[in-house]
Structure 1
Amino acid sequence: HSCPNWRLPYPEKEAQNIKELVQACKRNRVDFVWAIHPGQDIKWNEEDYQNLVNKFNWMYDLGVRDFAIFFDDISGEGTNPLKQTELLNRLTDDFVKAKGDVSPLTVCPTDYSKLWANPTPQGSLAIYGNSLNPDIKVFWTGDVVCSDLTPETMEWINSRIKRPAYYWWNYPVTDYIRNFILQGPVYGLDTSLTKENVCGVVSNPMEHGEASKLALYGVADYTWNIANYNPIDSWERGLQELTPKAKDAYRTFAIHSSDTENGYRRDESWETKTFRIAEWNDATAQALKTEFEKIEKVPAEMEQGCENKALLQELRPWLTEFGKLGTRGKQAIELAQIYRSGNDDSSFWNKYVQNLMSKEDRKAYEAHKSGTLKLQPFYENAMDDMAHGFLKKLLGTTPKDYKGIGSFGNSGTILTKLMLDNDTTTYYTSGIGQKEGDWIGVDLRDIRDVTEISILQGRNSVDDVDYFDHAILECSADGKTWTPLIKELNKQYVINWKGDAVKARYVRLKRLESERKNYASVRSFEVNPLHVENLGFKLESENPQQVVYAFDQNLSTFYKVSNTLTFEVPQGTKTYTLLMDKLSVPLKVKQFDKKGELVSETSISSPFFKLELTNDKVTKVTLEGKAEIFEVIANPQ
């Protein structure tokens, strides 16, 4: 149906499949619409016109009576609206009217969204309005590719194409977020519209046919009785219809698997109240814990009660990760109770590391996400807030676990951690188009001497479009008055600044005037990156670049020891606090004097360990074994 094979008949097996689908649709009173996408390589000549007619005739012989032609997402000569309308009008006369039992054609124009459509009388939509056969239906996705159906967007398009448009709603499609499975209510479709405003509504579903049924139920309900449509009531009926013996479990999953986290945001977890640790309330915490306990049970309850095995098969990977989210959320609340008591550092830390997500855990969750609007952010924020408070208590000063900030709607969310994770293969993305004045930055949590900044913009540094191509680098002590560090940056993915110390708490990259409307992405945003030579003591390690993570006053980083780590003891140090991940085997700790003589040796198996130096002659400590060390804290007593 698309370039370059649209001119050819279907192979016999595929043709038979289409014929069976057409027959099944007829039995169920469904119109089967076959669409072709010839625009990328079509030649506006008689030969290709006949190729198109031949293809339509082949499909007609298979039983197809409804046809659509798509000119979307193409470039070149195929975008010519005059040629498009000429072709469509001729097909209407030569094929649709000649057959007698074929419905009017549907077309998807090249300008199918207001985002890039030419609004002028010379634009392709106005040309459609002036020259396209009035029987032909014209698709429209709204103000952007994924957007609500509103009277305003229909008025905008209808006034140009001179007919009620055919609304193409890009929901619940997830081809731009394949790690999500959208199960929320159908809303964003205006209930005051009539056939004078819109000639039809089509839903673009997910690749998961069974899991799309919940949204399709809502769309069908809306189109059946627009004025009386109620999103929540319809959603509740859809849940009951699809899983009559597992509705409660399915509802628990669906209410927390609604948001896209990107672009076309959807409400999620609207019955659940989350909070930050500083806002702790016993009753609210208990209610949230109860919800997490309910979530833990959903996978087993769906396995037992969901009779639609095809639906269960599609949902299973998400259900598995959803259950894990319930467990770690529940444990975060239990951990917070220990944290708030503040009297057992060892117990807190041991349980803290047990509830951390491993690299494998994160990879599995990223592949099948849910709870992204409230639940996972609660877990992430709770763990981060407790880590910050715990480390601040141990250090006696503000830790350096910086926070991402910015002007975008998701700037205060956990997504900004992806530019602060010391991994340039991950990135923060704005999720919406950039505009002048937008900015992305870092909160240093305290006023500090800023001497070095390093930023990697875009998803790569070669040809990505998601970056600020005209920007300024600034810093501020109060978030109100900003001082420029680099006044103008043009088309720079890699940004480096070094200079005399500037007192600042906030650092940002701000967009200046530009034509760019893409998302904005940042892979790395480093302020005062720690260097070994700046630690003030000597180190011996297998990885000199990463060993600083054990001394950076930041619990979101760690250093992996696979053999030994040796560090010099600064003058005045009496004890060390070692914060580590779970130890698979005991770790040896050796103390040496300045002659290199062994003073003492001990073995530790707990992630939290308070190391007392044997005497004031100890000048060097060696950790021997395998461990992931979050922080080594030197104490004067």
Structure 2
Amino acid sequence: MSKFAIRGIIEGFYGRPWSHSDRLNMINFLGQQEMNTYVYAPKDDPYHRYDWRTLYPADHIKDFSELISAGNKVGVSIVWALSPGLSLVYSSSHELALLKNKFKAMQTIGFKKFGLFFDDIPNKLIHKEDMEKFSSLALAQAYIANEILAYLKELDPDAELFFCPTEYMGSGDSSYLNELGNQLNQDIQIFWTGPQVCSNTLDLNNAKTVSQTIKRKVLFWDNYPVNDASMQPELHIGPYINRDKELLKYSSGILLNPMDLVETSKIAIFCAAQFLNDPLDYSPDSAWRSAIEFLVGSEQKEAFIRFAKANSYSCLEPYQPQYLEDAINEFQAKLDLNDWESALSESMQFFTQLKTDLSVLNKLPQTLSQEIKPWLEEYKEWLEIALNALTILIEFRDLSKADAGDKLKKARKELREGLIRSVDFQTYCCGDVIHNFAQKVYRSTSYFLANTPYF
């Protein structure tokens, strides 16, 4: 059984970093899943990025020591990374001394693996003295990285360095990457996120191209299940898919960038662990279902799967939740055949089942439940909206009855209020599927009541 050499995660997202207890929890989980690497690189740790010149205070050093100890117990290497690129003067001997001093301080407490990151910074030299000394950004960064690795190896011959380039996604054949490949010490691992920042696929051709350009196997920084920045409304709890089973040929490993939601991120990490430990025998759906059962238990498993299918939108599945779309499309198909009875009864049954699931989902493990509370709350709201829309159609079908008009008006009023509330929803639960269905129902019945359409 072939497995990737480097398997794990990189805490590399923007926003609130994990707590110390979160990291200890995750390191233990990684060990259980036969993952072997955790990289510390939270963008909003000031000592990691904006205030990189300042040494960590004593309480941080204590926490780092505990992380190293926890990792040693479960076979997980703890990698400490620094991201100085926003303000670093590459040509300055003083700046280089500050870098060495900070790396030495972290080496002293027990780190053996390190990261030097130049992601999300200007893609050209910005200091006059750097432009005078270096002909390109790649040469400047390679100089710094080689100096740091040489310094670390003087103190510890087993020291390792992971490098994140400024150009970390794309076609993989640029002059910048070619220069890095030529200039960087061959012992340095180079990160790559794939064709995109958050890549829908990690395919063999792209991996082959970039590995040939950088003259070594590529180390993937997989931006999934991370949901920072504009992705915050999304909940990335779908299967781990679209990663080529032959990537081992050109890749030394994959590190996933998780969400700030620690427990919730374990679904993707559990799945990825199965892929990374045995890619050729990996079954995405089977791994996903096992991950959910591991996290929530057998009693809540099926209800959670249905909830997860309503939250499928991500870089891996960049389209509306298929589970809900299929239900609405089936409803419309029956309606087109004038089979109102089957269309309404089956759709009411479908959404009533999802509403019934809410009582089961209320029994989720507490930490997980708190993390996903905004999505659960709006899931409930959307199900109410869907059932209300169906109620309108039931009353519309029976419009000839004496009180049907009043019932229809009342149901439309409630639906309108739900749709107005949805304008302020904070998550992307259910995508746009129920919203579009409900809006269509509201509009289509407006004429018959001589009302102004909702939009």
Shorter-chain TM range is 0.7 to 0.9
- Aligned runs of 1:194-273 on 2, under 5 Å? 194=248, 196-244=249-297, 245-260=299-314, 265=318, 268-270=321-323, 272-273=326-327
Give the CA deviation at 1:4: 3.8
Give the CA deviation at 1:3: 4.1
TM-score normalized with structure 2 length = 0.78
- Aligned runs of 1:596-607 on 2, under 5 Å? none
- Aligned runs of 1:185-196 on 2, under 5 Å? 185-194=239-248, 196=249
Partner of 1:28: 74
Are 2:49 and 2:82, in contact at CA under 8 Å, matched by a contact in 1?
no
Partner of 2:166: 110
CA deviation string 1:461-486 (max 9, x = no partner): xxxxxxxxxxxxxxxxxxxxxxxxxx
CA deviation string 1:328-386 (max 9, x = no partner): 2122222212223443433212211112244772255x2133111xxx52x33333333
Give the CA deviation at 1:323: 1.8
Query: Could you say what the CA RMSD is over the residues aligned between the two structures, in angstroms?
Result: 2.5
Partner of 1:527: none
Partner of 1:390: 445
- Aligned runs of 1:510-521 on 2, under 5 Å? none
2:184 aligned with 1:138, yes or no?
no
**Higher relative strand content:** 1
Query: In 2, Cα distance between the equivalents of 1:385 and 1:266?
Result: 20
2:97 aligned with 1:62, yes or no?
no
Supply the AA of the counterpart residue of 2:82. I
Name the SS of the counterpart of 2:446 in structure 1.
Answer: helix
Query: In 1, Cα distance between the equivalents of 2:96 and 2:236?
Result: 40
Are 1:294 and 1:326, in contact at CA under 8 Å, matched by a contact in 2?
no
Partner of 2:386: 329
CA deviation string 1:144-194 (max 9, x = no partner): 111111012112211211111111111111103212221111111111222
Are 1:295 and 1:322, in contact at CA under 8 Å, matched by a contact in 2?
no
Partner of 1:48: 95
Give the CA deviation at 1:127: 0.2
Quickly say closer, same or farther: Cα 1:267–1:160, change in 2 above 3 A. Answer: farther
Which stretch of structure 1 is more off in the superposition, 279-288 or 249-258?
279-288
* 400, 408, 412: which one aligns with 1:352: 412
Query: In 2, Cα distance between the equivalents of 1:263 and 1:223?
Result: 17
Q: Which ranges of structure 2 fall in alignment gaps of 5 or more residues?
A: 1-46, 127-135
Quickly say closer, same or farther: Cα 1:2–1:77, change in 2 above 3 A. Answer: farther
Partner of 2:348: 289
Give the CA deviation at 1:255: 1.8
Give the CA deviation at 1:277: 6.9
Quickly say closer, same or farther: Cα 1:53–1:230, change in 2 above 3 A. Answer: same
Query: In 1, Cα distance between the equivalents of 2:320 and 2:161?
Result: 36
Supply the AA of the counterpart residue of 2:222. W
Supply the AA of the counterpart residue of 2:372. L
Query: In 2, Cα distance between the equivalents of 1:229 and 1:286?
Result: 39
Which stretch of structure 1 is more off in the superposition, 247-256 or 180-189?
247-256
2:119 aligned with 1:72, yes or no?
yes
Which stretch of structure 1 is more off in the superposition, 336-345 or 245-254?
336-345
- Aligned runs of 1:565-580 on 2, under 5 Å? none
* 338, 341, 352: which one aligns with 2:395: 338
Partner of 1:492: none
- Aligned runs of 1:187-586 on 2, under 5 Å? 187-194=241-248, 196-244=249-297, 245-260=299-314, 265=318, 268-270=321-323, 272-275=326-329, 279=333, 280=335, 281=339, 282-304=341-363, 306=364, 308-343=365-400, 344-358=404-418, 361-363=421-423, 366-372=425-431, 376-377=432-433, 379-393=434-448, 554-557=452-455
Query: In 1, Cα distance between the equivalents of 2:291 and 2:427?
Result: 23
CA deviation string 1:58-99 (max 9, x = no partner): 111222221111111111527811011112122222213541
* 181, 195, 204: which one aligns with 2:235: 181
Name the SS of the counterpart of 1:50 in structure 2.
Answer: helix
Query: In 1, Cα distance between the equivalents of 2:99 and 2:245?
Result: 39
Give the CA deviation at 1:22: 1.9
Name the SS of the counterpart of 1:273 in structure 2.
Answer: helix
Supply the AA of the counterpart residue of 2:55. P
Query: In 2, Cα distance between the equivalents of 1:392 and 1:14?
Result: 65
Name the SS of the counterpart of 2:236 in structure 1.
Answer: coil
Are 1:184 and 1:268, in contact at CA under 8 Å, matched by a contact in 2?
no
Name the SS of the counterpart of 2:221 in structure 1.
Answer: strand
Name the SS of the counterpart of 1:210 in structure 2.
Answer: helix
Supply the AA of the counterpart residue of 1:106. F
CA deviation string 1:525-570 (max 9, x = no partner): xxxxxxxxxxxxxxxxxxxxxxxxxxxx74125xxxxxxxxxxxxx
Supply the AA of the counterpart residue of 1:361. R
Supply the AA of the counterpart residue of 1:26. N
CA deviation string 1:385-420 (max 9, x = no partner): 33333333456xxxxxxxxxxxxxxxxxxxxxxxxx
**Higher relative helix content:** 2
Supply the AA of the counterpart residue of 1:85. A
Partner of 1:595: none
Give the CA deviation at 1:217: 0.5
Query: In 2, Cα distance between the equivalents of 1:165 and 1:293?
Result: 48
Aligned residues: 386
CA deviation string 1:397-444 (max 9, x = no partner): xxxxxxxxxxxxxxxxxxxxxxxxxxxxxxxxxxxxxxxxxxxxxxxx
Which stretch of structure 1 is more off in the superposition, 141-150 or 322-331?
322-331
Quickly say closer, same or farther: Cα 1:371–1:236, change in 2 above 3 A. Answer: same
Are 1:31 and 1:66, in contact at CA under 8 Å, matched by a contact in 2?
yes
Query: In 2, Cα distance between the equivalents of 1:112 and 1:77?
Result: 17
Higher relative contact order (CA 8 A, sep 6+): 2
Name the SS of the counterpart of 1:246 in structure 2.
Answer: helix
Quickly say closer, same or farther: Cα 1:359–1:232, change in 2 above 3 A. Answer: closer
Partner of 2:5: none
Are 2:328 and 2:437, in contact at CA under 8 Å, matched by a contact in 1?
no
Q: Which ranges of structure 1 fall in alignment gaps of 5 or more residues?
A: 396-552, 558-637
Are 2:344 and 2:394, in contact at CA under 8 Å, matched by a contact in 1?
no
Query: In 1, Cα distance between the equivalents of 2:382 and 2:436?
Result: 14
Partner of 1:128: 180
Query: In 2, Cα distance between the equivalents of 1:206 and 1:52?
Result: 29
Quickly say closer, same or farther: Cα 1:31–1:283, change in 2 above 3 A. Answer: farther
* 191, 196, 203: which one aligns with 1:150: 203
